[in-house]
Chains A and B, each alone.
Chain A
Amino acid sequence: EVVMTQSPAALSVSPGERATLSCRASQSVSSNLAWYQQKPGQAPRLLIYGASTRATGIPARFSGSGSGTEFTLTISSLQSEDFAVYYCQQYNNWPRTFGQGTKVEIK
């Protein structure tokens, strides 16, 4: 199975600052990589798929990049509603696998 490793585990950021989250795959997943946001008590929300395509309704401050084994989610200017846990997921291989998550906290 493809192991997805996210870093850092937690990130403290001030509102308005930039946040950069990383996701590494144990083997190439091409561009078949998605990012989700999850807030406490809520289901995950799809942010990015195809490594860099924003899902419907996702603000432009969220951007994704990368291919192969190295991927990045960037939040250009953090808003209060962006403090949450973020997961990457590969869909190039079965089983589908998620990273362990990065918690973005208020600094």
Chain B
Amino acid sequence: EVQLVESGGGLVQPGRSLRLSCAASGFTFDDYAMHWVRQAPGKGLEWVSGISWNSGSTPYADSVTGRFTISRDNAKNSLYLEMNSLRAEDTALYYCAKVLKDRSGQKGVFDIWGQGTMVTVSS
């Protein structure tokens, strides 16, 4: 079964750091780009960052550029999000997501999602 399991969320004070992890199973992890998408309580979806299969490309949303760093360890089938200088507006459920691959290649859409890990930034 294809599965993504996020961890590492919690309550953190503004200005502090947190590292999220996403454990992948059931597919060949290093064949796929991976992404983080977040959802503030009661709000819509916001794409945060993505990483290519070989870590050669790591785009970010403007709202997190310079504060968040995405990375992956293909040997451990794991995706990470290092979050620094956290702000109240970073409070959200953070999902990791796998991109779809069809016969014509990888697409920038997300066909498998984890259940998310909640990050709350508050003093």
Whether chain B is bound by chain A comes out as: yes
Contacting pair B45 A44 (CB below 8 A): yes
Q: Which residue of A lies closest to B111 (CB)?
A: A46
- A86-107 contact mask (Cβ, 8 Å, vs B): 1 or 0: 0101011011111111000000
What interface size band does chain A fall in? 20 to 34
Find chain B residues with CB under 8 A from A43 CB.
Answer: 95, 113-116
Q: Does B11 contact A (CB under 8 A)?
A: no
Q: Is the CB of B44 within 8 A of A98?
A: yes
CA distance A94 to B48 in the complex (A): 11
Q: Cβ of A71: which chain B residues have Cβ within 8 Å of it?
A: none
From known contacts A46-B100, A91-B109, infer whether A98 and B62 are also in contact, taking CB-CB under 8 Å.
no
A interface, by DSSP: helix, strand, loop or mixed?
Answer: loop
Interface size class of B (residues with CB under 8 A): 20 to 34
A21 within 8 A of B: no
A34 to B115, Cβ gap below 8 A?
no
Task: Tell me, in angstroms, the Cα distance from A100 to B108 when the chains sit together.
Answer: 19
- CB–CB A89/B45 < 8 A: yes
B20 to chain A, nearest CB (A): 15
On whether A49 and B47 interact (CB within 8 A), knowing A44-B113, A95-B59, A95-B62, the answer reads: no
Residues of B within 8 A of A (CB): 35, 44-47, 50, 59-62, 95, 100, 102, 107-111, 113-116
Q: Which positions in A face B, CB cutoff 8 Å?
A: 1, 32, 34, 36, 38, 43-46, 49-50, 53, 55-56, 87, 89, 91-92, 94-101
